[in-house]
Structure 1
Protein backbone atom coordinates (compact mmCIF):
# COMPACT_ATOMS: atom_id res chain seq x y z
CA UNK A 1 0.00 0.00 0.00
CA UNK A 2 1.27 3.49 -0.84
CA UNK A 3 1.26 6.42 1.52
CA UNK A 4 -1.57 8.93 1.52
CA UNK A 5 0.57 11.63 -0.13
CA UNK A 6 1.00 9.77 -3.43
CA UNK A 7 4.38 8.10 -3.05
CA UNK A 8 8.00 9.18 -3.42
CA UNK A 9 7.77 10.43 -7.02
CA UNK A 10 4.78 12.66 -6.26
CA UNK A 11 6.51 14.04 -3.12
CA UNK A 12 9.66 14.82 -5.15
CA UNK A 13 7.61 16.49 -7.92
CA UNK A 14 5.75 18.57 -5.32
CA UNK A 15 9.05 19.73 -3.78
CA UNK A 16 10.31 20.80 -7.20
CA UNK A 17 7.16 22.74 -8.12
CA UNK A 18 6.10 24.29 -4.77
CA UNK A 19 7.16 27.71 -3.58
CA UNK A 20 9.50 28.13 -0.61
CA UNK A 21 6.76 29.41 1.71
CA UNK A 22 4.60 26.32 1.09
CA UNK A 23 7.55 23.99 1.65
CA UNK A 24 8.46 25.82 4.87
CA UNK A 25 4.87 25.51 6.12
CA UNK A 26 4.90 21.78 5.30
CA UNK A 27 8.21 21.30 7.16
CA UNK A 28 6.92 23.19 10.22
CA UNK A 29 3.73 21.12 10.23
CA UNK A 30 5.72 17.86 10.00
CA UNK A 31 8.10 18.94 12.81
CA UNK A 32 5.13 19.84 14.99
CA UNK A 33 3.42 16.50 14.35
CA UNK A 34 6.62 14.51 15.01
CA UNK A 35 7.14 16.32 18.33
CA UNK A 36 3.68 15.32 19.55
CA UNK A 37 2.38 18.91 19.56
CA UNK A 38 -1.15 19.80 18.52
CA UNK A 39 -1.77 21.49 15.18
CA UNK A 40 -3.10 25.04 15.50
CA UNK A 41 -5.77 24.36 12.89
CA UNK A 42 -7.18 21.55 15.09
CA UNK A 43 -7.26 23.52 18.37
CA UNK A 44 -10.45 25.03 19.76
CA UNK A 45 -11.18 27.70 22.36
CA UNK A 46 -10.88 26.45 25.94
CA UNK A 47 -8.53 23.60 25.05
CA UNK A 48 -5.21 23.14 26.90
CA UNK A 49 -2.58 22.77 24.15
CA UNK A 50 1.10 22.25 23.47
CA UNK A 51 2.25 23.70 20.16
CA UNK A 52 5.51 23.92 18.23
CA UNK A 53 6.11 26.62 15.65
CA UNK A 54 8.11 29.60 14.46
CA UNK A 55 7.57 33.20 15.51
CA UNK A 56 6.50 35.29 12.52
CA UNK A 57 6.24 38.62 14.31
CA UNK A 58 6.83 40.13 17.76
CA UNK A 59 5.57 43.53 18.87
CA UNK A 60 5.11 45.58 22.02
CA UNK A 61 1.54 46.82 22.35
CA UNK A 62 1.23 49.79 24.70
CA UNK A 63 -2.42 49.98 25.71
CA UNK A 64 -4.24 52.16 28.19
CA UNK A 65 -5.22 49.39 30.58
CA UNK A 66 -2.11 47.20 30.42
CA UNK A 67 0.76 46.89 27.98
CA UNK A 68 1.58 43.52 26.46
CA UNK A 69 4.09 41.72 24.27
CA UNK A 70 2.40 39.94 21.36
CA UNK A 71 3.90 37.38 18.99
CA UNK A 72 2.45 35.30 16.18
CA UNK A 73 3.41 31.61 16.35
CA UNK A 74 2.97 29.74 13.05
CA UNK A 75 3.06 25.93 13.04
CA UNK A 76 2.57 25.36 9.31
CA UNK A 77 -1.22 25.10 9.55
CA UNK A 78 -2.34 28.34 11.21
CA UNK A 79 -1.08 31.24 13.29
CA UNK A 80 -1.79 31.68 17.00
CA UNK A 81 -1.18 34.96 18.83
CA UNK A 82 0.84 34.64 22.04
CA UNK A 83 0.21 37.45 24.54
CA UNK A 84 2.34 38.14 27.59
CA UNK A 85 0.49 40.69 29.73
CA UNK A 86 2.54 43.42 31.40
CA UNK A 87 5.71 42.62 29.45
CA UNK A 88 7.65 44.96 27.19
CA UNK A 89 10.30 42.50 26.11
CA UNK A 90 11.33 38.89 26.79
CA UNK A 91 14.92 37.89 25.97
CA UNK A 92 14.98 35.38 23.09
CA UNK A 93 11.43 36.11 21.93
CA UNK A 94 12.11 37.43 18.42
CA UNK A 95 10.93 36.74 14.86
CA UNK A 96 12.32 33.56 13.31
CA UNK A 97 12.73 31.68 16.61
CA UNK A 98 11.27 28.20 16.91
CA UNK A 99 9.35 27.68 20.14
CA UNK A 100 7.30 25.14 22.02
CA UNK A 101 4.44 26.76 23.96
CA UNK A 102 1.83 25.47 26.36
CA UNK A 103 -1.37 27.14 27.49
CA UNK A 104 -5.11 27.42 27.01
CA UNK A 105 -6.49 28.55 23.65
CA UNK A 106 -8.84 31.53 23.76
CA UNK A 107 -10.39 33.63 21.02
CA UNK A 108 -9.98 37.40 20.60
CA UNK A 109 -11.38 39.31 17.63
CA UNK A 110 -11.83 36.03 15.72
CA UNK A 111 -8.18 34.95 16.22
CA UNK A 112 -6.78 32.14 18.35
CA UNK A 113 -4.69 33.42 21.26
CA UNK A 114 -2.82 32.04 24.25
CA UNK A 115 -2.35 34.39 27.20
CA UNK A 116 0.88 34.17 29.22
CA UNK A 117 1.97 30.84 27.70
CA UNK A 118 4.70 28.69 29.17
CA UNK A 119 7.41 28.59 26.52
CA UNK A 120 10.64 26.90 25.55
CA UNK A 121 12.93 28.30 22.86
CA UNK A 122 14.10 25.44 20.63
CA UNK A 123 17.44 25.12 18.88
CA UNK A 124 17.49 25.79 15.14
CA UNK A 125 17.39 22.56 13.15
Structure 2
Protein backbone atom coordinates (compact mmCIF):
# COMPACT_ATOMS: atom_id res chain seq x y z
CA UNK A 1 0.00 0.00 0.00
CA UNK A 2 1.40 3.42 -0.98
CA UNK A 3 1.73 6.33 1.42
CA UNK A 4 -1.13 8.20 -0.33
CA UNK A 5 -3.45 5.18 -0.04
CA UNK A 6 -2.53 4.77 3.64
CA UNK A 7 -3.34 8.44 4.31
CA UNK A 8 -6.68 8.13 2.54
CA UNK A 9 -7.52 4.96 4.46
CA UNK A 10 -6.64 6.59 7.80
CA UNK A 11 -8.84 9.61 7.01
CA UNK A 12 -11.70 7.34 5.93
CA UNK A 13 -11.50 5.25 9.11
CA UNK A 14 -11.37 8.43 11.22
CA UNK A 15 -14.46 9.81 9.46
CA UNK A 16 -16.34 6.59 10.10
CA UNK A 17 -15.37 6.25 13.76
CA UNK A 18 -15.21 9.86 15.02
CA UNK A 19 -17.88 11.81 16.85
CA UNK A 20 -19.94 14.22 14.70
CA UNK A 21 -18.84 17.19 16.84
CA UNK A 22 -15.18 16.30 16.27
CA UNK A 23 -15.70 16.10 12.53
CA UNK A 24 -17.54 19.43 12.51
CA UNK A 25 -14.72 21.04 14.49
CA UNK A 26 -12.17 19.63 12.02
CA UNK A 27 -14.16 21.00 9.07
CA UNK A 28 -14.44 24.45 10.70
CA UNK A 29 -10.73 24.50 11.46
CA UNK A 30 -9.79 23.48 7.90
CA UNK A 31 -12.10 26.12 6.43
CA UNK A 32 -10.64 28.86 8.63
CA UNK A 33 -7.12 27.82 7.68
CA UNK A 34 -7.98 27.82 3.95
CA UNK A 35 -9.26 31.41 4.27
CA UNK A 36 -6.02 32.55 5.90
CA UNK A 37 -7.53 33.19 9.33
CA UNK A 38 -5.78 32.57 12.62
CA UNK A 39 -6.81 29.65 14.81
CA UNK A 40 -8.68 30.94 17.86
CA UNK A 41 -6.60 28.72 20.15
CA UNK A 42 -3.43 30.55 18.96
CA UNK A 43 -4.80 34.09 19.48
CA UNK A 44 -3.30 36.03 22.39
CA UNK A 45 -4.46 39.10 24.29
CA UNK A 46 -3.58 42.33 22.47
CA UNK A 47 -3.15 40.67 19.06
CA UNK A 48 -4.90 42.00 15.96
CA UNK A 49 -6.63 38.89 14.56
CA UNK A 50 -8.87 37.55 11.81
CA UNK A 51 -10.99 34.56 12.86
CA UNK A 52 -13.47 32.55 10.77
CA UNK A 53 -16.05 30.27 12.35
CA UNK A 54 -19.66 29.58 13.19
CA UNK A 55 -21.80 31.43 15.72
CA UNK A 56 -22.85 29.06 18.49
CA UNK A 57 -24.92 31.45 20.59
CA UNK A 58 -26.25 34.97 20.26
CA UNK A 59 -27.79 36.97 23.09
CA UNK A 60 -28.49 40.53 24.10
CA UNK A 61 -28.14 42.44 27.32
CA UNK A 62 -31.20 42.91 29.54
CA UNK A 63 -33.44 45.87 28.61
CA UNK A 64 -32.59 47.76 31.83
CA UNK A 65 -28.82 47.78 31.12
CA UNK A 66 -26.69 49.43 28.43
CA UNK A 67 -27.39 47.87 25.03
CA UNK A 68 -24.97 45.20 23.86
CA UNK A 69 -25.12 42.12 21.68
CA UNK A 70 -22.93 39.09 22.51
CA UNK A 71 -22.20 36.03 20.41
CA UNK A 72 -19.86 33.05 20.70
CA UNK A 73 -17.82 32.24 17.60
CA UNK A 74 -16.30 28.75 17.34
CA UNK A 75 -13.65 27.98 14.73
CA UNK A 76 -13.05 24.32 15.53
CA UNK A 77 -10.18 25.00 17.95
CA UNK A 78 -11.56 27.45 20.53
CA UNK A 79 -14.34 29.93 21.14
CA UNK A 80 -14.16 33.72 20.93
CA UNK A 81 -16.82 35.92 22.48
CA UNK A 82 -17.93 38.78 20.21
CA UNK A 83 -19.40 41.88 21.88
CA UNK A 84 -21.01 44.75 20.00
CA UNK A 85 -21.57 47.65 22.39
CA UNK A 86 -24.52 49.95 21.76
CA UNK A 87 -26.42 47.35 19.72
CA UNK A 88 -29.25 45.04 20.68
CA UNK A 89 -29.53 43.36 17.28
CA UNK A 90 -27.54 43.04 14.05
CA UNK A 91 -29.19 41.60 10.94
CA UNK A 92 -27.61 38.27 10.01
CA UNK A 93 -25.93 37.70 13.38
CA UNK A 94 -27.74 34.54 14.44
CA UNK A 95 -26.81 31.09 15.76
CA UNK A 96 -25.45 28.75 13.08
CA UNK A 97 -24.26 31.56 10.81
CA UNK A 98 -20.68 31.48 9.51
CA UNK A 99 -18.80 34.73 10.08
CA UNK A 100 -15.35 36.19 9.47
CA UNK A 101 -14.37 38.73 12.16
CA UNK A 102 -11.43 41.07 12.65
CA UNK A 103 -10.34 42.97 15.74
CA UNK A 104 -8.02 43.08 18.76
CA UNK A 105 -8.28 40.18 21.23
CA UNK A 106 -9.00 40.97 24.87
CA UNK A 107 -9.54 38.59 27.77
CA UNK A 108 -12.56 38.93 30.08
CA UNK A 109 -13.33 36.43 32.83
CA UNK A 110 -10.83 34.00 31.29
CA UNK A 111 -12.48 34.09 27.83
CA UNK A 112 -11.15 35.58 24.60
CA UNK A 113 -13.24 38.58 23.52
CA UNK A 114 -13.43 40.84 20.48
CA UNK A 115 -15.20 44.14 21.17
CA UNK A 116 -17.03 45.75 18.23
CA UNK A 117 -15.34 43.49 15.67
CA UNK A 118 -15.52 44.13 11.95
CA UNK A 119 -17.49 41.24 10.49
CA UNK A 120 -18.37 39.62 7.18
CA UNK A 121 -21.26 37.18 6.92
CA UNK A 122 -20.20 34.04 5.05
CA UNK A 123 -22.32 31.89 2.74
CA UNK A 124 -21.63 28.45 4.19
- TM-score (normalizing by structure 2): 0.93
Q: Which runs of 5+ in 2 are unaligned?
A: none
Query: Distance in 1 between the 2:96 and 2:13 partners?
Result: 28
Query: Distance in 1 between the 2:3 and 2:76 partners?
Result: 24
The residue aligned with 2:95 is 95
* Deviation, structure 1 residue 19: 1.2
- TM-score (normalizing by structure 1): 0.92
Query: Distance in 2 between the 1:103 and 1:58 partners?
Result: 18
Q: Which runs of 5+ in 1 are unaligned?
A: none
Query: Distance in 2 between the 1:110 and 1:64 partners?
Result: 26
Query: Distance in 2 between the 1:53 and 1:99 partners?
Result: 6
- How many residues of Structure 1 are paired with residues of Structure 2 in the alignment? 122
The residue aligned with 1:13 is 13
Equivalent residues in 2 for 1:54-69 (5 A)? 54-62=54-62, 66-69=66-69
